[in-house]
Structure 1
Amino acid sequence: MKAPQVCDGLNGLTDVDGALFFDARDAAHGVALWKSDGTPSGTRLVKDFIPGSIDPGGPFARDPRHLTAVGDRLFLTSGTGDFETYLWTTDGTEAGTIPLKGGMVTDTREGFDNDLEAMGGTLYFNAGFSLWRSDGTVAGTREIKSFAPIPGWNPNSLTAAGDTLFFAANDGQHGMELWASDGTAQGTRLVRDVNPGAPGASISDMTAVGGELFFNADDGRDGRQLWMSDGTAAGTRMVKDIASGPGWTAAGDLSDVGGRLAYSALDLQQNRVLFSFDPASLSVDRIGRADVLDASYDPKAIVSI
């Protein structure tokens, strides 16, 4: 199989045990899943989920999405010719590409999307209003816990930190709050009711640094602030309450860089610059300069290399 004559780019580039998987559109297959070892001869089609050059339109996304590596296998979502969207796993061959679960809905206009996250050799994902796990087999793909059937993604923002899976969810009693799971129903729990009551804490920007989770949340008193959590209620705290170093507010663009949390924030003069927080020493360092000509001024999309 020849490498695709790409019409509109590559998406979802994902390394799986040294092989690059991606979805691409070409004239012969429409959007399909491909694999490459970095050479033209080693770039080949894995599976065309909707055979033919024309992929049907519609309100729901059916092209390969959410490519996620778990060990030596790839998990993803994709539609088929029967207009159903499935969770799939693949070993890089068409014969080894198998559906695990149907009913995977991606319709961002209505607030529905799937999160796929690897932790400890297992895939975790949301489907409907439930948290699920999969070991790459149909029998090993099962529901962990269901949540309230409310509009939007519930649960969402699945993020692994060490051996704890964090996510935001609404159980119908606490609003959208921080939850954690060890992969079992018994070990799936509310971490802390950050903003008690129906509104919830509006949790976002969840980012793992080692075994700690960082996120932005509104507790209903201090406004939107940067928080950290070790998975316990007592260990879920606002960073500004425990950190030493220069003052800042309105953290964003969170990223793990060498075991520290790098983020952009407003300094005391309202300049948005780069900061760094060390979870071990609980200290903040200002990295950026308040100079519009400096590369560290008003940083966005911080990436660790």
Structure 2
Amino acid sequence: MRKTNWRRCKLETLESRRPLAGFGGFASSSDPFPNSNTDFARVGDNTLFVRNEPASGAELWRSTDANGPAELVRDIRPGEIGSAIESLLSVGDSVFFTAQLPDSGRNLWRSDGTSEGTVRVSDHDIDGPLQVFGDRVVFYVPVDWYRGELWISDGTRSGTTLVTTLTDRFENGVGKLLTADQHRFYFEQGSRNYFVSDGTPAGTIQLSGESVDKIRSIESAHNLATGDIIFSELFNGNEIHFIQPDGTVASVEELFGVNVASPAVGQPFGDDFFFLVTNTIGNVLWRTDGSPQGTAAVETVAELPEGRWVNDRSLSSVGEFLLTRTSGKGGDAWAVFDTSTGVWREFAGAPHGGEITIAGKYAYYATRHNNCDQIIRLDPRTATWEISASLSPEDRLGELFVIQDQLFFSYFASSKFFGQSLQIHWIDDQGSWNRHSSFSYGSGDSHRLVSVNNNQTLILVQMNQNRLVIHRTDTTAENSLRRIASNHAPMTRAAVPRAADRHHLTRLDGRHFVFTTQDVFGSKVWISDGTALGTRIAFATDDISPQATIDELYVVANKAVFTVTPTERLGRSLWSVGVGSVPRAIYRPGDGFGHLFDVLGSVNDRVIFATHDDAGGQTIWRTNDDVSNIAALAA
């Protein structure tokens, strides 16, 4: 059994997999979706995520590219406790994660998105997160009070091997692990003992050289055309070190007698790396191919105007251009450097703003003018700018993010008549902003937007005290977000309504009955055992819209099946809920089969209903045995 006073191993990747929105994540395993570091991972046509259901606990679920609700991949730890999955990572054709089991601790697992393809890879009791290295993952296994082991795995038992045994007492764990490329990574053991490894015991060596002792931490690592460099934080600034095959290092200051700008700003660019060097009048742009011989100040054909220089706040690449901020006479400005011609140009009159977001051929940033939030678009090819979006004074911009090379942004819209809503829009190539999705937003709500699948898929997570809903979109900017999963507190206590306010009163099973209520706060489905303590809310329409109503209710297979109709009748949906279960959408307009036209009734524990599409065609459907899915009867 692991001793609680062991030092934890801390590993960090080169590129953080942070969510794009401002919600801080889930704090404990009791949350509906508890994995706070990497909530979603992509494999094939599946998006995998951790979902907490009352019957199975926190387990692995999937949503496919085909329209339809999410489904359980595998119940790794049968029962209500769940396997507490963490470190969900997409690696090649698989998703890696760790799962907690009572007999073996936290082990390494791999999944291809199917139940039979979800298997345990290693029986080691892992401490800390998994980290990606090429097409493998690296993880830490504590051995005793002082020692631990670094392991690497390709997703098979035979391909899970020991990298090295760590013998020093850990200060802040193993330190930082940084993936340089497909063949080497870096980590820290103890206090400022830095190592480079190719994933084998023989290829794991300690860095050496006069400047190693000055390194406070390794911030990033890069494999370039002719060698590797590391971007390091020193105790008095920043530095770039060149790494030789034998592990010896040499710094830019040692070789060239210049100081790297601090705070550090660098930008990988093809097989090269651009960075800033401080001189007496500001900062100068330098370039390296990974070797001392290929490192020098960038030659320019057209300089910046006299008295202006590059500042140390940002450096981004768009195609063959570098975007940065300049300072000097006249204040700060945006500027672009053409790497193919060596020409500097400034964006005349562009307003000040926040960090740059690159989407396709353009760069975007947020600013505020005349009490209105705006999004500015920079075109580096012409060094021109324009306002792509301008919100009204009562609206507030959320965040900018990129899906399929298009800029998306969220904002909170306020209306005297419709209340607050979360709006998601995108900007097309002509610079116009277009509505993508809209969601009602209450005072107790929070949300998070996540980009997965190499910025091809957008995930929206909505949360409040009693529900959590996940929406997803794929393919094109015009595709609206659709719901793939939701969690409610299965039964929520509330004041029992008066008999006169109860509707659709129906026997549910041998011990419970079901009924609905309607008030100014929306419609609700209640399940009761006949006592005040045993009467709970099982479903509330505020999950969809406060104005939505519950029009029809049937009981089949010991579950309540009911229609939910928003203010727009074409948005009708069919739901089911049972004792202790989570409400489930059986049919929604976004499922791709048209609009719910009519519920014909219930026959032999099945609900029969009809849908019609925009072309006038109709289809008759029935629910399956456990009311979890539907099948077509006639068209």
Same fold (TM over 0.5): yes
Deviation at 1:165, TM superposition (A): 0.6
Confirm or deny that 1:100 pairs with 2:163.
Answer: yes
Distance of aligned partners of 1:177 and 1:251 in 2 relative to their CA distance in 1, 3 Å threshold: closer
Aligned residues: 273
Deviation at 1:233, TM superposition (A): 6.1
Deviation at 1:63, TM superposition (A): 0.6
Confirm or deny that 1:149 pairs with 2:213.
Answer: yes
Percent identity of paired positions between Structure 1 and Structure 2: 20
Q: Distance in 2 between matches of 1:256 and 1:20?
A: 30
Q: Which residue of 1 aligns with 2:128?
A: 63
Deviations 1:209-246 (A, max 9, x none): 12221234445x34556543233367322x5x736476
Structure 1 vs Structure 2 CA RMSD = 4.7
Distance of aligned partners of 1:235 and 1:148 in 2 relative to their CA distance in 1, 3 Å threshold: closer
Q: Is the 8 A contact 1:8 1:24 kept in 2?
A: no
Distance of aligned partners of 1:168 and 1:294 in 2 relative to their CA distance in 1, 3 Å threshold: closer
Query: Which of 288, 293, 313 is residue 229 of structure 1 equivalent to?
Result: 288
**Structure 2: segments with no counterpart, 5+ residues:** 1-31, 39-86, 353-366, 368-373, 379-398, 406-454, 456-635
**Amino acid of the structure 2 residue aligned with 1:210:** G
Confirm or deny that 1:204 pairs with 2:279.
Answer: no
Q: Distance in 1 between matches of 2:281 and 2:107?
A: 47
Confirm or deny that 1:87 pairs with 2:150.
Answer: yes
Higher Rg: 2
Question: What does 1:42-191 align with in structure 2 at a 5 Å threshold?
Answer: 42-47=117-122, 49-50=124-125, 62-69=127-134, 73-80=135-142, 82=144, 84-103=147-166, 107=172, 113-119=175-181, 121-128=182-189, 129=192, 132-146=195-209, 147-150=211-214, 152-153=216-217, 156-168=219-231, 177-185=239-247, 188-191=249-252
Deviation at 1:164, TM superposition (A): 1.5
Q: Which residue of 2 aligns with 1:55?
A: none
Q: Distance in 2 between matches of 1:201 and 1:126?
A: 24
Confirm or deny that 1:8 pairs with 2:8.
Answer: no
Q: Distance in 1 between matches of 2:109 and 2:346?
A: 43
Tell me which of the two structures has the higher relative contact order, counting C-alpha pairs closer than 8 angstroms and 6 or more residues apart.
1
Q: Is the 8 A contact 1:50 1:81 kept in 2?
A: no
Q: Is the 8 A contact 1:249 1:266 kept in 2?
A: yes
Deviation at 1:114, TM superposition (A): 1.7
Deviations 1:222-279 (A, max 9, x none): 4556543233367322x5x736476774354544544544x45257765665x55443
Q: Secondary structure at the match of 1:149?
A: helix
TM-score by length of 2: 0.35
Q: Distance in 2 between matches of 1:183 and 1:258?
A: 31
Query: Which of 375, 390, 409 is residue 294 of structure 1 equivalent to?
Result: 375
Q: Distance in 2 between matches of 1:224 and 1:176?
A: 14
Distance of aligned partners of 1:38 and 1:251 in 2 relative to their CA distance in 1, 3 Å threshold: farther
Deviations 1:140-177 (A, max 9, x none): 32335355435722x553222223211246999x9853
Q: Which residue of 2 aligns with 1:17?
A: 92
Deviation at 1:65, TM superposition (A): 4.3
Deviations 1:19-44 (A, max 9, x none): 333x4666868865443334455444
Q: Is the 8 A contact 1:75 1:87 kept in 2?
A: no
Deviation at 1:100, TM superposition (A): 0.8
Distance of aligned partners of 1:136 and 1:233 in 2 relative to their CA distance in 1, 3 Å threshold: closer
